[in-house]
Structure 1
Amino acid sequence: MNDRPKKSLSIVGCGFVADLYMRSLAKHPDIAVTQVFDHNPARLAAFADHWKLRSAETFDRFLGNLPVGSVVINLTNPDAHFDVTHACLSAGHHVYSEKPLAMQMEHARQLHALAAEKGLMLASAPCSVLGEAAQTLAKAVRDDVCGPVRLVYAELDDGFIPQAPYPDWQSDSGAPWPAEDEFRVGCTLEHAGYYLTWLIGMFGSVRRVVAASAETLPDKSVTGTADFSTATLFFENGVTARLTCSIVASHDHRIRVFGDKGVLQVKQAWDNEASVRFHKRFVLRRRLIEHPIGKRMRLAQTTHPKVERWGAAAMNFALGPAEMLEALSEGRPCRLSSDFALHLNEVTLAIQNAGEDTGAQVMTTRCDPVAPMSWAT
């Protein structure tokens, strides 16, 4: 029988994504959710009732109920991320924020500085970089499976979303898919991080971004934000990568790492168990060929709890908060550091805001690659 006290965290923001976190947290019986809050009383009541959680009547009461040094997951709307995270850090609490860390880079820098001043952890989603597929790919790169990495292609095309039946999409506790937020914030801020975290986690800081973005669908329900972006990322270690996001092109979530020996490929960014395959390059009858059936790369150790597929994803959203809690209990740095969150925010905004005349930017922030999980060494 395990008598160890549970690690605990609290959640602010009880919308669509909060149910995905609760589905994931159910796979971590050593973590307890102590309380939740949402500014919408009806949404708060529905969420708390569905998951049998204690709710706070106001945000001030929510903060006042927390012991100093608690972990808060910020799942509010993107426009509220800065204010909510700032309030939590000011009250002395560690914060794990949904993406983006902040909608403006100056706000992200303020949060980074405040966390450092108070000696608090500040981390940002997405956390799939800690998942099995990302960790397997990173280990294959470290092990030189494909040889020196020359180029990376990463795709985050989601299909023609404006024609999808998204009004029918609903979470476990009845929250609708936040279409207005998704269209207003844009697919780059919403999705680029899923592969940017993998890339920065493997290769470290991006030195320079050359990007372009455009709104190709001006008749969406919410307009004015790019629904397509493409960026070339020049990493300080010499690797070059191209990342594309859209809600226009056919669904494609591949990442391909091209090296001297062949290609490492993952086809599904949103599946923690997606296979990582190595397609060896060879010459056959004077033709250069990549083997059509790639060799699957596997890790020797048991990895992390898996979450069943729901909708478009099979991701454990709790891996980030769990890593933060483990780092606190073990007295070590969090793999998803505040430097990592800040750099991710800068690179993402550089892509999001790249117009016809502002396509090239030199990055000002730096971060280390993400240390591999213990089961991926």
Structure 2
Amino acid sequence: MTGDAPKTFRVGLVGCGRISDIYLTTLANFSEVEVVACASLDLEESRAKAAQHGIARACSVDEVIADTQIDCILNLTIPAAHADITRRALLADKHVYSEKPFVTGMDEGRELLELAEARGLKLGNAPDTFLGGRWQTVRRLIDEGAIGRPTGVFAHVGTHGTERHHPNPDFYYQAGGGPLLDLGPYYLTAMVFCLGPIARVAGMANRAFDRRQIENGPRYGEWMDVQIDTHSLSMIEFETGAIGSMTMSFDIWDSETPRFEIYGETGVISIPDPDPVHGANDFHGPVWLRTQDTSRWSHQPRPKAREDWQVVMNHHGFNENSRGLGLLDLALAVRDDRPVRASGALSFHVFEVMDAIARAPQEGLYQRIESTCPVPEPLPETFPASETIRAHEAANAH
């Protein structure tokens, strides 16, 4: 398929939940990709989604996977179903782009990577937030030596769970859920993008509650059982020798701790919260730099003294919620016969890191990571349709 890919990459959506709306909104901006069918276990839900987004056909999951006119499956099912849907799509000779996590078990991950390679198909996987302008700016700073050799990284997300905003949050507290698997992929993927593959980890975890109460929507007041740990601490060592720490929690009522920082020999890059809702697990927001000489990196005409933070100029597009950008990159990777940036190999490496962090409290402090992955190439500023996105973002800013 890779040599004869059509100009328009035809996509079938499986899973029509809330997350699908932003994917469909983003993909509608690009002529290179067309979502031609959608499916879920609830046919009425699929029909409503098709009507909302102008999708030509709503059908069953079996039908969308079997459709020979579809090039790729966009797998937005719940985590426990990711591997099964991806496997079925690969066996039907379709490329796959999936929501995170990639899988919920190591054996499943290895199987899917081997199956895709054997059939000459491409696998992509969320998160694709690292393709946004904010993270591309961070990577540019590192590549250009703004902080010298990176030596460390810190990530912290302290929330009090998903029951405050999600109407059906049960799966977040079952196998395949929890803050490590839900939030960790954003931060670990960004770490690998900026600092390279991870060599070993350590971890500790616990949970504050065995039951939690839904705080919104029609199920308000209903209780859920908590089957997984909801507060995770980890230490991380990269193949380069850089080290880091990460906290992912559903048990913190509030926090003023910075979300993400990268430390180097001559400076530090900080990713602050752009607003009370979004953190470093989104596309937009500023990049701060503090170093011995910030004059080269600042957008201010007269940089302040070295003690002050500087806001770094962002030259890249995709600075608003652009989930689905990874699928566009996969479509263009098929067309151009090149590696996918938000690849299955990257996601499997990140999953192994999370799996090792989760096992560490029972099996021993340090866990060696067996997999590695290619570090994704930065997006060129001439990335297809980026001018369209910049115009769209500029229009929305006024």
Residue in structure 2 matching 1:275, options 281, 286, 305 = 286
Kept in 2: contact 1:189–1:352 (CA 8 A): no
1:132 aligns with: 133
1:247 and 1:143 map into 2 onto residues whose CA distance is 36
Kept in 2: contact 1:78–1:99 (CA 8 A): yes
Residue in structure 1 matching 2:173, options 183, 193, 211 = 183
Kept in 2: contact 1:202–1:370 (CA 8 A): no
1:143-163: CA deviation from partner (whole Å, max 9, x where unpaired): 111122221101122x2236x
Residue in structure 1 matching 2:265, options 260, 268, 293 = 260
1:113–1:19 CA distance, 2 compared to 1 (3 A): same
1:340 aligns with: 346
1:116 aligns with: 117
TM-score normalised by structure 1 residue count: 0.85
1:183 and 1:376 map into 2 onto residues whose CA distance is 41
| Residues 41-60 of structure 1 aligned to structure 2 (within 5 Å) | 41-60=43-62
1:183 and 1:27 map into 2 onto residues whose CA distance is 34
Name which of structure 1's ranges 268-277 and 51-60 shifts more when overlaid on structure 2. 51-60
Q: Any gaps of 5 or more consecutive residues in structure 1? A: 170-175, 283-289, 308-314
**Identity, % of aligned positions:** 25
Residue in structure 2 matching 1:297, options 287, 312, 330 = 312
1:221-276: CA deviation from partner (whole Å, max 9, x where unpaired): 23121111111111111111111101122255621111222211011313322111
2:233 and 2:154 map into 1 onto residues whose CA distance is 11
2:30 and 2:319 map into 1 onto residues whose CA distance is 10
Task: Give the AA of the match of 1:150.
Answer: T
- Match of 1:152, SS state, is strand
Alignment pair present for 1:360 and 2:352: no
Alignment pair present for 1:214 and 2:217: no
1:267-321: CA deviation from partner (whole Å, max 9, x where unpaired): 1313322111111369xxxxxxx95642122244xx33444xxxxxxx2111100
Kept in 1: contact 2:283–2:318 (CA 8 A): no
2:250 aligns with: 247
TM-superposed deviation, 1:357: 4.2
Name which of structure 1's ranges 119-128 and 341-350 shifts more when overlaid on structure 2. 341-350
Kept in 1: contact 2:95–2:121 (CA 8 A): yes
Kept in 1: contact 2:207–2:251 (CA 8 A): no
1:372 aligns with: 378
1:161 aligns with: 161
TM-superposed deviation, 1:120: 0.7
Kept in 1: contact 2:132–2:319 (CA 8 A): no
1:125 and 1:262 map into 2 onto residues whose CA distance is 30
1:66 and 1:156 map into 2 onto residues whose CA distance is 43
Task: Give the AA of the match of 1:211.
Answer: G
1:81–1:253 CA distance, 2 compared to 1 (3 A): farther
1:14 and 1:240 map into 2 onto residues whose CA distance is 39
Task: Give the AA of the match of 1:83.
Answer: D
Residue in structure 1 matching 2:324, options 315, 318, 321 = 318
1:173-231: CA deviation from partner (whole Å, max 9, x where unpaired): xxx4x301122211111110111111111222211011112112223223121111111
Aligned length: 346
Kept in 2: contact 1:299–1:376 (CA 8 A): no
2:350 and 2:382 map into 1 onto residues whose CA distance is 23
2:98 aligns with: 97
1:197 aligns with: 189
Structure 1 ranges of 4+ moved more than 6 A: none
Kept in 2: contact 1:215–1:224 (CA 8 A): no
1:7-58: CA deviation from partner (whole Å, max 9, x where unpaired): 3322101011111212222333442111111012232222222222233432
TM-score normalised by structure 2 residue count: 0.81
Q: Any gaps of 5 or more consecutive residues in structure 2? A: 1-5, 213-223, 273-278, 294-304, 384-398
Kept in 1: contact 2:179–2:230 (CA 8 A): yes
TM-superposed deviation, 1:139: 1.1
2:356 aligns with: 350
Task: Give the AA of the match of 1:351.
Answer: I
